[in-house]
Amino acid sequence: MEYGSFGYRGMSIRYAVRRGKSDALPLLLFNGIGQSIEVLIPVINALKHQDIVAIDVPGTGKSDTPKLPWRFHHHAKLAAAILDHLNYPRVNVVGFSWGGALAQSFSYHFPERCEKLVLAASPPGNLMVPGNLGVYMRMANVHRFWKKAYMRSVAGYIYGGTIRHSLKEVDKTAQRLIPPTRKGYFYQVATMYGSANLAWLWRLKQPTLILQGIDDPMIPNINARAMAALIPDCRLEYIDCGHMFILTKLKEATKMIENFLGTSS
């Protein structure tokens, strides 16, 4: 993995590039809320064929925090600038959770740069059918990034799936994670509340794969069905797990992604 720093609007933004084993189209990964690049390392290692680009969005990992909250299209412009810097004119895009909403924005605002789109445990912005209010209250508590005991106490409730019975993957993720700044985390929350992707998902041009956990307390399944109905060229697949299936069902999820992208061996 090669790490770099990119200057943008007076900030230092950290990105990472993993060189692939083939000349397949590069893959741009967008992470979940508050998550640093390190959280995605198991996914990056599993997707061996193509070059992969991941970004610590402003306020997360080792990237600077902006003075004011950004909208998703601001984050999309940053990603496009980093791709220009790396000389990647066109990519496939995979977004996880919060990063799925960003992936939608990137593919909408830069359609000429996105070949295929994968949305994993992704919300359609803030116009969505919400889960239980208690899930979001526990999720909003920033102590989960710094206090492992608190994260362990709420993980099953907010993530569902196998996390309800085993915290092994939660502990591994906590060890890899570089926590966001408090301001950076709340700015990401504000970004989500300022989006309304459902209004234009029907205009997406890319072939799209939606991956949805059957037991996802954070993003109820009806949201995946709504997005699949709106996006013209879209396939919806379910995984028998919760919100963190990309890590808890790593082999299954990455195989589905590779098959869709056409990079499986």
Please write the tens of the pLDDT for every residue from 240-263. 999 999 999 999 999 999 999 998
Q: Where are the chain's structural domains?
A: 2-130+180-261
Average pLDDT over every residue of 23-47: 96
Of 126-130, 138-142, 160-164, which has the strongest mean pLDDT?
Answer: 160-164
Per-chain mean pLDDT for the chain: 95
Structural contact between residues 110 and 76, judged by C-beta atoms closer than 8 angstroms = yes
Average pLDDT over every residue of 17-46: 95
pLDDT band, very low/low/confident/very high, at 22 (cuts 50, 70, 90): confident
pLDDT band, very low/low/confident/very high, at 264 (cuts 50, 70, 90): low
pLDDT band, very low/low/confident/very high, at 114 (cuts 50, 70, 90): very high
pLDDT higher than threshold 90 for residue 140: no
DSSP per position, 32-82? PTT--GGGGHHHHHH--SS-EEEE--TTSTTSPPPSSPPPHHHHHHHHHHH
pLDDT, residue 160, reads 97
Average pLDDT over every residue of 14-25: 93
Structural contact between residues 246 and 213, judged by C-beta atoms closer than 8 angstroms = no
pLDDT higher than threshold 90 for residue 76: yes
Query: What tokens does 51 get?
Result: 């070059």
Residues designated catalytic: 97
What letters, b where the CB count within 10 A reaches 16 and e where it falls short, cover 56-94? bbbbbbebbebeebbebbbbbbbbbebbeebebeebbbb
Backbone angles phi, psi at 30, to 5 degrees: -115, 130
pLDDT, residue 265, reads 58
pLDDT band, very low/low/confident/very high, at 194 (cuts 50, 70, 90): confident
Q: How far apart are CA 9 and CA 67, in angstroms?
A: 10
The CATH superfamily assigned to 2-130+180-261 is: Alpha/Beta hydrolase fold, catalytic domain (3.40.50.1820)
Q: Shortest CA distance to 246 belongs to which of 122, 105, 60?
A: 122
pLDDT higher than threshold 90 for residue 96: yes
Structural contact between residues 42 and 250, judged by C-beta atoms closer than 8 angstroms = yes
What sign does the CA torsion over 77, 136, 157, 119 have? negative
- Read off the pTM: 0.96
Q: Where are the beta strands (DSSP E) in 78-113?
A: 91-96
pLDDT higher than threshold 90 for residue 143: no
Structural contact between residues 15 and 55, judged by C-beta atoms closer than 8 angstroms = yes
